[in-house]
Amino acid sequence: MENPRYNKLLRPVREYILMTVGLLIYSFGWIACIKPMEVAAGGGTGLSMIISHTASEMWGSDLGVGAVFLILNVMLLIVSGFTVGWNFGFKTLYCIVVASGFMAWMEPYLLTHYPPAGDVIGLDDKLLTIILGALLAGAGMAICFSAGGATGGTDIIAKIFHKYWGVPYGKVIIYTDILIIGSTLLLGYTLSDVIYGYIVTVVVGTTVDLLMSGSQQSNQIFIITADYDRMAEAMLHEANRGVTLIDAKGGYSAHETRIVMVVCYKRDAGHILRIARDVDPKAFVTIASVSGTYGEGFRNLTQLH
């Protein structure tokens, strides 16, 4: 028989171990594969690499990627705290600090072992090397997300835009990455570096999508619980997701209740399930893939052609 108290203590330990492993893989993909190829890249880590490279080339400053990653995310978290709220959680802080630590540890070690061509992995092919790095980074992010972690960066910017202007998260992240990578042309990067950067962005995003919940875009979650009011409140305030309460009646018990329905991006499904578990461990939950989601917080119906 399982011990609930033991499982409750073991669960966070397992989650933090998973996040740490994911962040290690994520950092290795960026520092060992993508950075040596000196390509432009999006996201918070890509922007950190661009700032680090530019500082070194223009001002001779030895500013490591890990340090820039930490400073950049701390600044974004402060802005987010004053605009969206201080509800990003300890796991986000943990992931940012650990990822920056891994990068700061790996970068000087690998730099001393870089071959003249910068090919740490030894694939002798720039495209294959950055694809491998993007696959590792995406896999690491997926592991981290599955344990409830987050790597910060453009996700924080997306939250701000979503709150004040209602722009969907995915759209903000895509446009931000396009802007970050494209702007590197003004900093001395070549067109081929920019194209490689877009390849990295696509591969990372696709890898996360496939590992998190297949190729579907969203998940529809039904939660049946006697404490549906508290469950709905938790989804609204802890998960920051809209909730629909559906009147229902048990076929056997004839007991009237309400089903809590939540539609979310697949990357958020694990977080939703953990919240549901914390509110009511005995809740009955179903989760289904949704091929298209339109409306508030997602793609607008007006975008259909």
**Beta pairing partners, 219:** 264, 289
Q: Is the pLDDT of residue 214 over 60?
A: no
pLDDT (0 to 100) of residue 158:
77
What dihedral do alpha carbons 72, 73, 76, 77 form, nearest 10°? -150
pLDDT average, residue stretch 3-7: 61
Confidence of residue 299 (pLDDT cuts 50, 70, 90): low
Domains contained in the chain, CATH given: 4-213 (no CATH), 218-303 (3.30.70.120)
Q: Is the pLDDT of residue 302 over 70?
A: no
Bigger pLDDT: 178 vs 298: 178
Q: 10 Å Cβ neighbour count for 24?
A: 19
Q: Is the pLDDT of residue 279 over 80?
A: yes
pLDDT (0 to 100) of residue 206:
83
Angle at 104 between CA 13 and CA 187, to 5 degrees: 130
The average confidence (pLDDT) of the chain is: 84
Spatial neighbors of 33 by CB under 8 A, at least 6 apart, are 120, 121, 129, 130, 132, 133, 134, 136
pLDDT (0 to 100) of residue 291:
67
pLDDT (0 to 100) of residue 215:
41
Q: What is the number of residues in the chain?
A: 305
Distance CA 269, CA 257 (A): 23
Q: Is the pLDDT of residue 305 over 50?
A: no
DSSP alpha helix (H) spans, the chain: 4-28, 43-59, 65-83, 89-111, 126-146, 154-165, 169-183, 191-213, 228-237, 269-279
pLDDT (0 to 100) of residue 96:
93
Q: Is the pLDDT of residue 177 over 80?
A: yes
Q: Are 248 and 284 in contact (CB under 8 A)?
A: no
CA distances, 207 to each of 72, 128, 211 (Å)? 25, 15, 6
146-155, 157-166, 233-242, 288-297: the lowest-pLDDT one: 288-297
Q: Is the pLDDT of residue 79 over 60?
A: yes
Q: Is the pLDDT of residue 101 over 90?
A: yes
pLDDT (0 to 100) of residue 194:
94
108-122, 188-202, 220-234: the lowest-pLDDT one: 108-122
